Amino acid sequence: MNNRNKVLIQLEIPLIEKKYDLFIPTNKKVGTVKSLIEKALVELTDNVYVISEDTNFYSKELGTIYDVNQTVRDTDLKNGSRIILL
């Protein structure tokens, strides 16, 4: 399996007290990835998770916000990165 175009991250969502290991594409913008993940979360949680414009991806290690306009490739996200959706 060729995963050069994807990175495996651990996503933590405090709102629903869940963690997920996800492959995300490196050629998509962070905002696009966030939007797709949030849509999936709505379905996975039977609408318990509510999409909000105010949510961001944060680095769990550094606390920095990921720019929604950057591609994943242009961030410091790599295999094993831990991020928080808050």
- DSSP structure class, residue 70: S
Q: Which residues, other chains included, contact 53 with Cβ-Cβ below 8 Å and sequence gap of 6+?
A: none
pTM check: above 0.85:
yes
| Local confidence band at 2 (pLDDT 50, 70, 90 cut-offs) | low
Nearest to 77 by CA among 38, 29, 17, 41: 29
pLDDT of residue 4: 79
Which of left, alpha, beta for 80 (phi over 0: left; psi -120 to 50: alpha)? left
List of domains in the chain: 6-85 (3.10.20.90)
Hey, what amino acid is at 27? N
Cβ-contact 65, 56 below 8 angstroms: yes
Q: What are the tens digits of pLDDT across the range 25-75?
A: 999 999 999 999 999 999 999 999 999 989 999 999 999 999 999 999 999
